[in-house]
A and B are shown apart, each in its own frame.
Chain A
Amino acid sequence: MTNIMEIYQLLPKTNCKECGESTCMAFAVALLSGTRRFTECPPLVKEGKYIDSKQKLEKILKPIEGAEETGLIIHEELCSGCGNCVVACPVDVANDPHGSGRGTGPTNDKVIFKVVDGKVKAANVKECRRFGKDKILCRACIDPCPTEAIEFV
């Protein structure tokens, strides 16, 4: 999956500070955590020689930009829509015991995961156990995924 070095290698690596961060590495960290956008790096946007890097960054950062505050990322191209995460997520079981918890499609809107057009979509992510003040490092949706389509950053 995407790692920090991979992102860093695609940045100008000049530490010009135009983005406001002290180093390109710091900017890379901010990109990975989803707090900054790559378009906030002026040389990358303006200078033609970075065009390839820019395109690559755009591609690898796309899922991260969609990440919710919990850092949940779904790599749609890897998802087979099996629904394992839908059924295994403890929040889904608690909020929809007779639907998601029993293996069928969700019967209400309170669940986190739902499969639409063959790919899983996340909603209500604030309910995720990794979020809020009593957060725990839950992996209940990651481990059952047969294709490593779920990641938290």
Chain B
Amino acid sequence: MTEMVTWTCTGCALLCEDIQVSISDNRIEHVENACMKGKARVFGCKEQAVPTIHGDKADIDDVIKDAARILRDAKNPLLYGWSNSTNEAHIAGIELARTLGGIIDSTSSFCQGITVNEILSGSVPSCTLEEVREKADVIVFWGADPMSSHPRHMSKYSYFPRGELRQRGYEEDRTAISIDVWQSRTAKICKNGFHRIPPGKDAEFMRGLIEALSGRVPKLSFDYDVKRILELAATLKKAEFGVLFAGLGLIYSIKEDITLLSEFTAALNQFSHYSLIPMAGHFNMRGFNHTLHEKTGHIYRVKFVDGKAISGVEYSVIEQMKRNADAVLVVGSDPLASLPGSISKRLKDIPLILIDPCMNLTSRVADVTIPCSTSGIEAGGTAVRMDGKTMDIHALVQGNNMSDEKIIERIIEEVG
């Protein structure tokens, strides 16, 4: 018998909650309304992980015991990944880090973590995606290309839908702006709202805009039509409800100058109402920041010393993998594929445990692999959407593996 269920997609941090999935005999048949990325998530990976120790198949209880032994023996264990796990798995992970006196960090460490920090600390105003849909009239994608990273972003929230205050459709009621180094797919949709700037010049362009907002003519070190900046500033000023979607293109470019985000939003808010939303990628990148913040007051890069949490750049995944960590537990991530290639050399040399539903590049160097269920497909829980809203996610089918949350709880039992 085929059954239709409504599902929340964990393909990206948009967490679309209107997906219809048809299931028959515990098998997913079709998925409606999800984009191709969501579809890929639903149908899962080709090569599923199996429990292994040093590449040899092993019993699940034994791999958990071995993982616990590695972590217990390490002086400086690093627990890393987390953006593909539920908040409940995060809670277990933080507990494990505390028990071990270890370090915990997530992919947000080199991604949108600093942006989330600006929001959670109250420096930068934010809003929900529903507010964007109902009210936003000026939408800025800066160093962000949702059409490539979050395919339903513009159709579900930020540009195309009719909202309460935006009844006449996007052409009349909304203005989309793209500031980027090339004409991305999103920029193409923004048409004349596209502003092309040289790489690395985001901070300068932003300062130029702040000048232009207050009526001064900005001077830029690169060739740019001043008239266009002044026009852009005028458009930004006229907004009733403006929103800035900050992509990695912007964040990487201004990371040393991150307080510029609060300067810019404050400048905009002198004339209008503006909020900022980080374009978090993985479905629960932001959830890790929120959960850790709740538990420790820090959003990432935490070390537990005598049960107390301290945070600093020296506890970032990059620094730890490069130098100090003497054992790594990776949960739902593929550091070999996503971190600087040179780090992979060191990962080969230190004990590495990988908890993941799939085989990935890191599986090749892992000492212990532990297969887990896919969050939001075979296991449920809660997750935090890119705008900070907590969403329930549900299991669709019964899998063969334990959830990462359960696996970590088992490791805690073994370690404790």
Contacts A93-B162, A144-B189 supplied; 4 other A-B pairs, CB < 8 Å: A103-B133, A104-B33, A114-B32, A146-B185
Chain A 96-114 per-residue mask, 1 if CB under 8 angstroms from chain B, else 0:
0100011111100000001
| Top 3 A-B pairs, shortest CB-CB distance | A118-B39, A103-B161, A105-B33
In angstroms, Cα B11 to Cα A153, docked, is 34
**Number of interface residues, chain A, beta carbon within 8 A:** 27
Whether A117 pairs with B39 at a CB distance below 8 angstroms is yes
In angstroms, Cα B156 to Cα A86, docked, is 10
Do most interface residues of chain A lie in helix, strand or loop, or is the interface mixed?
loop
Whether B161 pairs with A81 at a CB distance below 8 angstroms is no
- B residues near A (Cβ < 8 Å) are 18-20, 30-40, 133, 147, 151-152, 154-157, 160-163, 169-170, 185-186, 188-189
The answer to whether A83 has its CB under 8 Å from any CB of chain B is yes
The answer to whether A136 has its CB under 8 Å from any CB of chain B is no
Whether A146 pairs with B39 at a CB distance below 8 angstroms is no
- A residues near B (Cβ < 8 Å) are 79-84, 86-88, 93, 97, 101-106, 114-119, 143-144, 146-147
In angstroms, Cα B170 to Cα A102, docked, is 11
For B160, list chain A residues within 8 Å (CB).
84, 87-88, 103, 144
Whether A103 pairs with B32 at a CB distance below 8 angstroms is no
In angstroms, Cα B154 to Cα A102, docked, is 11
Whether B189 pairs with A83 at a CB distance below 8 angstroms is no
Which residue of B37, B40, B151, B155 has the most chain A CB atoms within 10 A of its CB atom? B155
Contact partner of B161 among A79, A102, A114, A147, CB < 8 A? A102
In angstroms, Cα B34 to Cα A82, docked, is 8
- Beyond A102-B162, A105-B18, whether A117 also contacts B30 by CB under 8 A is yes
Whether B133 pairs with A80 at a CB distance below 8 angstroms is no
In angstroms, Cα B147 to Cα A103, docked, is 15
Contact partner of A101 among B19, B34, B35, B162, CB < 8 A? B162
- Beyond A105-B33, A114-B32, whether A80 also contacts B18 by CB under 8 A is no
For B35, list chain A residues within 8 Å (CB).
80-83, 115, 118
Whether A115 pairs with B34 at a CB distance below 8 angstroms is yes
In angstroms, Cα B151 to Cα A86, docked, is 13
In angstroms, Cα B31 to Cα A115, docked, is 9
In angstroms, Cα B35 to Cα A114, docked, is 11
